[in-house]
Structure formats: structure tokens, C-alpha cells
Amino acid sequence: MSSPTRPTGTTAPRGIALLGVLAVVFLTLPLIGLASRTPWTQLATLLRDPVVIQTLRLSLIASLSALLLSTVLGVPLAWLLARSHFPGRRLVRALAVLPMVLPPVVGGVALLLAFGRRGLFGQLLFDATGLSLPFSTAGVIVAETFVAMPFLVVTVESGLRSLDRGYEEAAATLGATRWTIIRTVTLPLIAPSLAGGMALCWARALGEFGATISFAGNLPGRTQTMPLAVYLELESNPSAAYLLSFVLLAISIAVLVGMRDRYLGQP
């Protein structure tokens, strides 16, 4: 560039600074609003409430199961998308990330039409075994996985793409088998993206609402996760809803702090 250079990283143009500050205010005001209405003194009582414990437990079990499922299926998919060349790869990627942009409620209805008792595949399952996913904890895990797995796939895929293939090639010339290379070279090198993808995926699964309520329904102890409880408590017991929201918020902050290299650190 031929224009006179300004020292970078010192002062921003006033317009940019103003809009940037506005963005920060916009993003933080709701949190301050929530914090100001949260009855902190009731926190200890609420966290001992058996219904809250049950809901928290179910949320953790479902979201961690969704994370496990997403990792087992999502990492191989990311590898295929990043490394192998097959016809229709762009289409496969588009389909795989579709749930990220699909309204979750639509996702939930689509899941019903596929895996419900009268769904395309769900009916076969029901006729053969008498099992059906809706209204079960397994249904919650399926809904959360559907919505959250794409976050893991895109993060791991971009990690694999930005990886220097030289290390893997060096390992191959030294006689390592493909599995040894994946296990001892590739996975350790993409560990930061894998961790980042898993954190995003888990946070998304934990906060999942729309797909869960339309596919798995709402029953305390079986399919009522934290966000569903917050939604229903908002009417009957707002202070419990604010507190539960804050517990979810605290978990989200913990995820962000855990990923500080990616989101909180220097570029």
C-alpha cells in the first residue's frame, strides 16, 4: 500500500470506537439486567431443590452424551471434509452445517418427521422394537446432537485445513502407519481446534431449547433440560428462572474462559 502509514494498534478512528463501544453496551446490558434482578440470596436454597438438581443432572447427562456422540461422528466427518476428495463434497459440507442456520424448532419438527413414531425411520424402529425417541432422554440427546455437532465439525475441519502436512509426511517417511500418524501426530496437532470445537458443541447442546421442546417434549426428570425449565419457570416463578439463567450463564462464561486462547486472548 502506498498511502502514508499510521502506527497501528494505538488510536482508533472516532466513528469506529463509538460503534464498537455501542456494540459492547448492547451485548452486556442484558447480562447486567439479568444480574440486577437475580435474587442471589436464594441461590443456595435453589441449588438444593431436588427439582433443580434433577434438571441440572439431566441437562449435564444429555449435553455430555451429545458431546460424545458429536465427537465420535463429527471428527471423522471433519477429516473427510478436510482431507478426502469425493464428488459432492461441497454439498455434504452444506448439509452438515445446515442445522447451524436452521431455526431449532424447524429442526425439531424435521427430527419428528424422520425419527418420530410416525416418522420416515422412526416408524420402522417403533414397529420392530416398540421404542420411540420422542419424549425420551435419548430424544433429547438426538435433538442436542443434531443442533450442536456442526459446531464441532466446522471447527475441527478448519483446524485440519490449517495444519502443516509436513509433520505427517515426515512421520510417513519414517515408516509410521496411517493410524499411528493420526494418533500421534494429527490429533495432538489439532488438539486446540478439537478442544475449541468440543467446548462450542457442548455449550450449544447445553443451551438447546427449540429442537428439544419440539422433538422430545417437556417432562421433568426425563426430557426437561435447564433451558426448558427456565422458560416454564419464567411465568410461575420468575426468580427461580433468573437464577437458573444465571447458572447457565456461569457455565457459558466458564466455557469462554476455558477457550480464552481462541476468544479472549490476543489475535
Partner 1 sequence: MPRLRLTALAGVLIVLAACASAEESDGATSPQDTLAGDVTVFAAASLTDALTEIGSEVERMYAGVTVTFNFAGSQQLATQIVEGAPADVFASANLAQMDVVADAGLVAGHPVMFARNRLQIVVEPGNPRRIATLRDLQRDGVTVVLAAPQVPAGRYARAALDRAGIALSPVSLETDVRAVLSKIALGEADAGIVYASDVAAAGDRVTGVEIPDAANVVATNPIAALAAAPNAEAAQAFVAAVRSEAGRAALARAGFELP
Binding site for partner 1 (CB under 8 A): 112-113, 116-118, 132, 134-135, 213-214, 216-220, 223, 231-232, 234-236, 238
Own/partner long-range contacts of 27-32 (Cβ < 8 Å, ≥24 apart): 31/249
Minimum separation from the CB atom of position 232 to partner 1 (A): 6
Minimum separation from the CB atom of position 6 to partner 1 (A): 46
Task: State which residue, 125 or 234, has the beta carbon closest to partner 1.
Answer: 234
Minimum separation from the CB atom of position 191 to partner 1 (A): 40
Task: State which residue, 155 or 223, has the beta carbon closest to partner 1.
Answer: 223
Task: State which residue, 33 or 76, has the beta carbon closest to partner 1.
Answer: 33
Task: State which residue, 97 or 232, has the beta carbon closest to partner 1.
Answer: 232
**Nine-digit cell at 102?**
436452521
Task: State which residue, 167 or 231, has the beta carbon closest to partner 1.
Answer: 231
Map grid coordinates 471423522 to a residue.
76
Task: State which residue, 104 or 196, has the beta carbon closest to partner 1.
Answer: 104
Minimum separation from the CB atom of position 112 to partner 1 (A): 6
The Cα–Cα gap between 151 and 141 comes to 16
**Nine-digit cell at 63?**
449435553
What lies within 8 Å, CB to CB, of 156 at 6+ separation is 74, 75, 78, 79, 190, 193, 194, 197
The Cα–Cα gap between 85 and 212 comes to 35
| CB count in 10 Å sphere of residue 162 | 11
Minimum separation from the CB atom of position 216 to partner 1 (A): 8
What lies within 8 Å, CB to CB, of 130 at 6+ separation is none
Cβ atoms of 227 and 148 closer than 8 Å: no
Maximal C-alpha separation, the chain: 74
Q: What is the dihedral of CA 10, 15, 20, 21, to 10 degrees?
A: 100
Query: Which residue type, as a one-letter code, is found at position 242?
Result: Y
Minimum separation from the CB atom of position 123 to partner 1 (A): 9
Minimum separation from the CB atom of position 8 to partner 1 (A): 45
The Cα–Cα gap between 170 and 163 comes to 14
| CB count in 10 Å sphere of residue 233 | 20
Task: State which residue, 31 or 264, has the beta carbon closest to partner 1.
Answer: 31
